[in-house]
Structures are given as C-alpha cells and as structure tokens.
C-alpha cells in the first residue's frame, strides 16, 4: 500500500460516521442489545481457548485447588512443566515432528500440483483442457466413498505410510477451480507478448503467472496447510502403527479418549506434571499453528480474494 | 465443508462461461499438432491431473466388491461374484443399518432447522452493528473455530462441558447440581448440533455478509425517503434480497443431506454407544474397515453415493424450478 492510499484509508476511517444522510441515528438500546448478543457469541468462542491455555500453564497446587478441573487463571507462577514433559521426546514430540513434516511436504506438493493443473486448464486453447475440466468439476460434486478409497490405498501399498496422508488429498478440485479462475483474470496481453518474445509455457508460468498470483497462492497454500495439519480421518483409517501417528491421532488418544500419559509415552519418567495440564499442553500445541496462520488467512479475506471467489 | 460447497456455483459459472467463449473463438490445428505444441504445458499440469483421476475416479472401480464376497486375502480379481446379496440391507431388515439411516435423517433435519439459519441471524446482527473496527474484530473471532479440526473441537467441548470440565467444576464448587451432556445418549444430538453451530456458524456468515454488501443502497434510501423504518427496510429489502441465496444454500444442504459429520461423530461414539450415534458414514467404517464386512459396507457406500448424486441433481432441478441458478446450469 502506498503512503497516499494509506492516508486515504485513514482519512475515511477517522471520519466520524459513514452513515448516509437518509439513515436515522442508530437506536442506542438496540445497538447495545445487538452488541451484547454478539459479545456473548464471541466470549463463547474465546472462553474454551483461554481456559485450555490457563490450565496448561497451571501448577499442581492451582489444579488441586480447582478439584483437578479446568481453571481460568494459571496461578501466581506460570508452570512450563507440562510443555517440558510432553516435548521431552516420546510420542507427542514425534507426532509433532511428523505433522510438521506432512504439512510442509504436503502443502508444497499440493500447491505445485494445483497451480500446474490450474495453469493447464486456464489456457483456453490448450490440449484436452475441456475433458480434464469436466473431471475436475465432477470431483467437486462427489467423493468416491470410504471403502473404495481404502482399497485403492491398500492396493498401492500405502497403508501405514505417510504418503497415504498426502497423495489422496494432493489435489483439491475446488482449489483448482478457484486458481484457474484467478489465472484467467490475468490480462491476456501479458501472455501474448511473452509468447511473441519466445517464452515457453514454463517460463510464462514461473516469470509471469506465479509472481502475479501471490495472493491466491498464499490463500490456497494456507488452506492446504490447515487441512494437512488438521487431517484426522485419513490418519485414522490409513495409519496403524502408533510410532507413525500425526498430532490428530495423539490428540484423540490422549486428550479426547483420555488415555493416561505415562512416563514411557513421553520419555521422561521422573515426576510427571498433572495429567490434565499435559493434556492441555498437547491441545495448545495442536491449536498454536492454526492461531499463527489465522491472521494471514484473515488478511487475505480482507483483501477480498476469497470473497471475490464467492461472489464471482 | 458445506461452505466450500456454497462457493462452488459461482466459480463454476465463471469457468463455463469463459471456456465456452474460448471454444468458439479459436481452434488451432489438429489434435496431434496441439498435443505437440502444448506438451510442456501438459507436463506442468499432468501430475495434478493424474492425482485427481487416480484418487477420485479410479476408486470407483473398487465398488465392484459390492457385488462380490470380498476377502482381503483373495483380492478383487479372485473374489467370487455373489450378485445383489450385499444389498440385502435394503430389503432384508438389517436393524443396525435402519438405525444408522434413521439417525442420519434425524440429524440432517435437526441441523437444517437449527444450524442452518444461525449464520443468517449472525450476519444480520453483524451488518447492522455500528462501528467498523468492532465489527471486524467480532468477525475475526467468530470465523476462527472453522479452522480447527474436529478433534480439537471435541476436546475443547469435553474440557468445557465434560463431567470434569469447567462448567461442572464450577457447579460443584458452588454447590449447584451438575449438568451432564457429554456421554449421555439422549443428549447426543443436542451436543452434535451445538458443536456444529460453535464451529461453523461464524464462518457461514461470510456468504451472507457478502450478499448483504451487494444490495443496492439506493433501495434503502428510496425506502427511507418513503418513510420505511429500519425494521421495514430489513423486512422488505434485506430479507427478500437474501431469499435467493437462502434457497440456494438450503437446496445445497438438501443435496448433502446424507453426510452428517463423520469425524465429529466417530470421535464421540465410544461413551454414548451406537444406538444413539451411528450414522451411515460411521456404519460403513465400523462394519467395513473395522468389522471386515467389506462387501456390504461397499454396498451401503455405493447406494449412498448414488442417492447423494441423485439428491444433488434433484436439488438442482428444484433450484431451477425456483428460478435459481443452482450448483450447475442446465
């Protein structure tokens, strides 16, 4: 944003009211009621996070005072014992590394495959673009079903293999359509002049299309990353060995099903912190990456990339 | 999930329009010439296309086991064909299947009635609130749960409402009667519905807010000049303008009505039991992958897929009858 634009934006923001002349002054009582209704919704969203965070930092004393339940305030001193315990090696640490790896590799491959396919389909005169596009649209409308997908993964010898968490979800058809629509919006003159200068399709893609599509690449990349990080279903059916579990399965076992976390699970036998604070620490670790990327996703909404796709 | 389906129609409309334009524009050379000219382009796009075909379309072949007595050690090629025996759940009176079907339909109805309108109400509240910055902050908070996985959402609900959760700890400390909702079969549907609202209602406002921002402001001005107060403007301008979108979303929901949240339910089946919690997707999982009844599970999955596609097509017909555009055009 240039300084001029910034000044303009601030100018509109500092204006006291955007209310058009014909609109009556908002009824203060009604505004307060609406605000309270929305505030309650927002508190209902935030409260669980806050409580989980507080409990993960609470020491044994504070938890005992709360009869072993959740707390809203971690006590006088923040205790990092729960984090130290679950991150000291063992099942949680391993799952964290696995999830980060799958998310990282998966997002890069997904983005490359999606951008490549979208690019092929966006060049209107390209070979076979039409039938492939129909296949993509069909893939948006239905999914092949649990048993057949499982049999295919089994047939490909991918069971209990991390690739089973990446390859079946490598290309999301809807993302292809969004990206293709974005590529088609790029001015045709750019392509023509590059082609006249002798640029190959690959050069046009890497030197013109991708640099102009940073926003859409960022948004779709973040969506893929969130999906890989959150993936539970595929991990549940394809990954059998506990040593290969990603975070989602660790969460299910230790936090949802509340299997107790023993010293041998986390590789530190001496003086375990309370179960509850370790569970909450695992939960915080699983939520944290989403919280970190969320503002970036938000920023791109604000820019209207996704809204634009919604409105068409 | 349902949100991404909401965004489908428009993207598609855009693409079909532009590819139609392109098709009548130019047609250079023969197929072979175009193939050789575009080989680099195809090379760039092919990995994605192969992945899509391999994991979306090739599995359809696996549905053949719905007509076989499939055993994993035999494999698809060796398993004997047994006709329609696996589809006996349709007429044979299979109680667990009927239970799953019934639960699915009840949950769909509850979610359509209770979950579906919440985003509209939230969006109307948000859009009528004065103060841009406050509005944006509230939006940021309300969208957020959409990005969490079901494992996290279920865990958060347990910690808040579970027997040792925050609410009950608070109630015990203050000598009040406890409130149990987690792990209670009778309240399972209430729990599922509450979770669905908590996770996705905020996110669902996006499409309504976008539609509200598209309404022509001059209509409001004209109505105000004619003496319509803000309630009347809401009733006579805002709501009618959103009617089309609402019907479209409702129809899409109808097309999706056999899917009621596999991950959410499978995570919480343990304590409440199958009678209360089994739905079609979990039935397929529990009987097929866990129970080894491969053929029948594939049969249920196949019927569900066919009915699902039928519902989408039917829902689109309905949309066209209502004069809406639907997911795809005729």
What is the pLDDT of chain B when averaged over all its residues?
82
pLDDT tens digit sequence for B82-123 = 888 888 888 877 888 999 999 999 999 998 888 888 999 999
**A28 plus A175 within the same structural domain:** no
We report the CATH number of the domain holding residue B188 as 1.10.3720.10
**Coil, helix or strand at residue B325:** coil
Whether A6 maps to a domain, the answer reads no
* C-alpha–C-alpha distance, residues A87 and B89, integer Å: 48
Q: Are A57 and A80 in contact (CB under 8 A)?
A: yes
Mean pLDDT of A44-60: 87
Please give the pLDDT value at position B14: 42
Are A112 and A205 found together in one domain?
yes
Please judge whether A127 and B35 are an interchain contact, meaning their C-beta atoms are less than 8 angstroms apart.
Answer: yes
What pLDDT shows up at residue A9? 52
Q: What is the pLDDT of residues B138-155, one digit of tens each?
A: 888 998 999 999 999 999
Residue A302 has pLDDT above 70, yes or no: no
Please give, rounded to a whole number of angstroms, the shortest distance from the CA of A183 to a CA of chain B: 11
Has residue A231 got a pLDDT over 50? yes
pLDDT at B29 (0 to 100): 64
**Chain B residue numbers touching A20 (CB-CB < 8 A):** 217, 221
Is the pLDDT at A62 greater than 50? The verdict is yes
In this structure, the answer to whether residues A301 and A211 fall within a common structural domain is yes
* Alpha carbons B283 and B267: distance in angstroms, whole number: 14
Residues A148 and A291 in one domain: yes
In a domain, B169, yes or no: yes
**Are B38 and A287 an interchain contact pair (Cβ–Cβ within 8 Å)?**
no
Asked whether residue A28 is assigned to any structural domain, the reply reads yes
Q: Do the domain assignments include residue B63?
A: no
Residues of chain B in contact with residue A74, where contact means CB-CB under 8 angstroms, are none
The answer to whether residue B142 is domain-embedded is yes
Q: How many independent structural domains does chain B possess?
A: 1
In sequence order, which ranges of chain A are alpha helices (DSSP H)? 3-14, 28-56, 60-65, 81-86, 91-122, 129-141, 146-155, 173-185, 188-196, 201-204, 210-212, 214-230, 233-238, 247-250, 263-266, 275-302, 305-311
Claim to verify: residue A57 and residue A94 sit in the same structural domain: no
Inter-chain CB proximity B56 and A137 less than 8 Å: no
* Residues sharing a CB contact under 8 Å with residue B163, sequence separation 6 or more, in sequence order: B178, B180, B182, B183
Q: What is the mean pLDDT of chain A?
A: 83
Chain A CB contacts of B308 below 8 Å: 142
Specify whether the CB–CB gap between A229 and A290 falls below 8 A: yes
| E strand spans, chain B | none
**Comparing C-alpha atoms, which of B212, B225, B261 is closest to residue B1?**
B261
Q: Rounded distance, CA B200 to CA B122, Å?
A: 12
Please indicate whether residue A254 or residue A11 has the higher confidence score (pLDDT): A254
Residues above pLDDT 70, as percent of chain A:
87
pLDDT above 60 for A312: no
For residues A56 and A83, the answer to whether their CB atoms sit within 8 Å is yes
Structure tokens at A92: 């949680």
Q: What is the pLDDT of residue B328?
A: 64
pTM assigned to the model:
0.85
Task: Report helix, strand or coil for B276.
Answer: helix
Residue of A nearest to B293 (CA): A147
A101 and A147, same structural domain?
yes
On whether residue A290 sits in a domain, the answer given is yes
Chain A nearest-CA distance from B100, in A, is 16
Return d(Cα B30, Cα B249) in angstroms, integer. Answer: 43
Of B14, B149, B159, the CB nearest to A52: B159
Given this model, what pLDDT does residue B77 score? 79
Q: Which of A22, A151, A234 to mutate to test the interface with B (most CBs of B within 10 A)?
A: A151
Does residue B11 have a pLDDT over 80?
no
Q: Round to whole Å and give the CA distance between B150 and A226.
A: 12
pLDDT band of A267, cuts 50, 70, 90: low
- B329: in domain: no
Digit-coded pLDDT (tens) for A180-227: 988 888 888 888 888 888 888 888 888 888 888 888 888 899 889 999
CA dist A136 → A29, B16, B53, B125 (Å): 51, 12, 9, 37
Q: Please give the Cα distance from B329 to A7 (Å, whole number).
A: 45
Res A308: pLDDT: 44
Rounded CA-CA distance B317/B324 in Å is 9
Cβ contact (<8 Å) for B56 and A47? no
Contact across the interface for A290 and B288, Cβ inside 8 Å: no
Quote the tokens at residue B33: 């010439």
SS (H, E, C) B80-106: CECCCHHHHHHCCCCHHHHHHHHHHHH
What pLDDT is attached to residue A56? 87
Residue B73 lies in a domain: no
Which domain does B207 fall in, by range? 2-17+28-54+89-321
Are residues A151 and A299 both part of a single domain?
A: yes
Give the pLDDT score at B8: 39
Query: Is the pLDDT confidence value at A3 over 80?
Result: no
Quote the CA–CA distance of A172 and B48 in Å, as a whole number.
Answer: 9
Same domain, A68 and A165: no
Rounded Cα distance between B69 and B294, Å, is 8
Q: What does the DSSP 8-state code read for residue A272?
A: P
Chain B residues near residue A23 by CB distance under 8 angstroms: 220, 224
Q: Name the range with the highest mean pLDDT among A80-84, A299-303, B232-236.
A: B232-236
Q: Are residues A158 and A216 in the same domain?
A: yes
Residue A296's domain is classified under what CATH number? Answer: 1.10.3720.10
Q: State ipTM.
A: 0.85
Q: What is the largest CA-CA distance in chain A?
A: 76
A91 and A74 housed in the same domain: no
The Cα of B17 is separated from the nearest Cα of chain A by a number of Å equal to 11
Contact A146 B147 (CB under 8 A): no
State residue A5's pLDDT score: 52
Phi and psi angles of residue A268, each rounded to the nearest 5 degrees, phi first:
-140, 105
Residue bearing the bigger pLDDT, A15 or B326: B326
pLDDT tens digits along B245-289: 888 788 778 777 888 888 999 999 988 888 888 999 999 999 988
A7 part of a folded domain? no
Mutate which of B37, B48, B216 to disrupt the A interface (most A C-beta within 10 Å)? B48
A170 and A282 in one domain?
yes
> Is residue B173 situated within a structural domain?
yes
Mean pLDDT of B238-251: 84
- Kindly determine whether residue A201 and residue B37, on different chains, have CB atoms separated by under 8 Å: no
Contacts of A132 in chain B (CB under 8 A): 45, 49
A170 and A196 part of one domain: yes
Q: Which residues contact A153 (CB under 8 A, 6 or more apart)?
A: A159, A164, A168, A238
Q: Is residue B276 part of a domain?
A: yes
> How many domains, in total, are found in chain A?
2
Residue in chain B lying closest to A145 (CA):
B301
| Chain A positions in Cβ-Cβ contact with residue B165 (cut-off 8 Å) | 69-70
**Domain hosting residue A116, numbered range:** 85-311
The lowest-confidence range among A160-174, A277-291, B7-21 is: B7-21
The pLDDT confidence band at residue A172, using thresholds 50, 70 and 90, is very high
Question: Is B328 inside a domain boundary?
Answer: no
The answer to the question of residue A1 being in a domain is no
Among A14, A49, A66, A145, pick the best mutation site for testing chain B contact (most B Cβ within 10 A): A145
pLDDT band at residue B192 under the 50/70/90 scheme: very high
Domain end position, chosen among A63, A79, A95: A79
């Amino acid at each position: 944003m240039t300084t001029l634009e910034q000044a303009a934006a601030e100018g509109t923001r500092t204006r006291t009211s955007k209310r058009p002349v014909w609109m009556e002054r908002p009824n203060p009582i009604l505004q307060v009621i609406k605000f309270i209704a929305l505030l309650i919704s927002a508190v209902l969203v935030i409260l669980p996070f806050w409580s989980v965070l507080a409990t993960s930092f609470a020491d044994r004393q504070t938890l005992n005072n709360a009869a072993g339940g959740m707390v809203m305030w971690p006590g006088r001193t923040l205790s990092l014992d729960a984090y130290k315990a679950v991150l000291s090696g063992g099942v949680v640490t391993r799952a964290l590394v696995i999830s980060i790896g799958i998310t990282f590799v998966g997002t890069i491959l997904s983005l490359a495959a999606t951008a490549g396919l979208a690019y092929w389909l966006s060049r209107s005169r390209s070979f076979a673009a039409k039938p492939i596009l129909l296949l993509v649209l069909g893939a948006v409308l239905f999914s092949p079903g649990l048993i057949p997908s499982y049999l295919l993964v089994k047939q490909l010898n991918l069971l209990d293999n991390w690739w089973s968490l990446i390859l079946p979800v490598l290309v999301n058809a809807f993302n292809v359509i969004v990206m293709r629509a974005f590529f088609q919006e790029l001015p045709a003159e750019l392509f023509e002049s590059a082609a006249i200068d002798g640029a190959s399709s690959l050069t046009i893609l890497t030197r013109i299309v991708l640099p102009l599509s940073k926003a859409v690449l960022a948004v779709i990349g973040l969506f893929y990353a969130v999906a890989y990080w959150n993936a539970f279903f595929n991990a549940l059916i394809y990954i059998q060995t506990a040593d290969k579990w990603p975070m989602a399965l660790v969460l299910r076992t230790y936090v949802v099903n509340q299997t107790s976390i023993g010293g041998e699970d986390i590789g530190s036998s001496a003086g375990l912190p309370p179960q509850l604070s370790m569970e909450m620490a695992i939960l915080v670790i699983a939520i944290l990456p989403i919280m970190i990327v969320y503002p970036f996703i938000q920023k791109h909404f604000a820019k209207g990339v996704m809204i634009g796709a919604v409105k068409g | 999930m349902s949100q991404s389906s909401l965004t489908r129609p428009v993207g598609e409309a855009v693409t079909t329009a532009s590819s139609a334009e392109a098709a009548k524009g130019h047609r250079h050379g023969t197929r072979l010439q175009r193939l050789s000219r575009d080989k680099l382009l195809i090379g760039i796009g092919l990995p994605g296309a192969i992945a899509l075909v391999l994991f979306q379309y090739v599995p359809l072949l696996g549905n053949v086991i719905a007509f076989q007595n499939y055993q994993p050690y035999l494999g698809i090629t060796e398993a004997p064909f047994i006709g329609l025996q696996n589809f006996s759940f349709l007429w044979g009176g299979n109680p667990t299947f009927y239970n799953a079907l019934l639960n699915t339909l009840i949950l769909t109805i509850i979610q359509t009635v209770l979950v579906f309108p919440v985003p509209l109400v939230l969006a109307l509240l948000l859009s009528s609130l004065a103060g841009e910055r406050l509005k944006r902050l509230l939006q940021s908070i309300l969208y957020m749960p959409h990005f969490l996985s079901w494992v996290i959402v279920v865990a958060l609900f347990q910690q808040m409402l579970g027997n040792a959760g925050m609410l009950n700890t608070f109630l015990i400390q203050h000598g009040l009667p406890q409130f149990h909702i987690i792990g209670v079969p009778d309240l399972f549907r209430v729990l599922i519905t509450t979770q669905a609202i908590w996770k996705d209602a905020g996110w669902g406002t996006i499409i309504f807010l976008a539609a509200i921002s598209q309404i022509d402001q001059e209509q409001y001005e004209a109505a105000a000049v004619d003496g319509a107060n803000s309630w009347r403007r809401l009733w006579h301008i805002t709501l009618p303008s959103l009617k089309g979108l609402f019907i479209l979303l409702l129809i899409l929901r109808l097309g999706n009505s056999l899917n009621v949240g596999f991950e959410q339910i499978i995570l919480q089946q343990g304590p409440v039991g199958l009678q209360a919690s089994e739905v079609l997707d979990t039935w397929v999982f529990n009987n097929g992958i866990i129970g080894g009844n491969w053929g029948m599970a594939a049969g249920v999955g196949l019927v569900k897929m066919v009915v699902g596609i039928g519902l989408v097509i039917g829902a689109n017909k309905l949309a066209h009858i209502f004069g809406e555009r639907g997911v795809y055009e005729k």
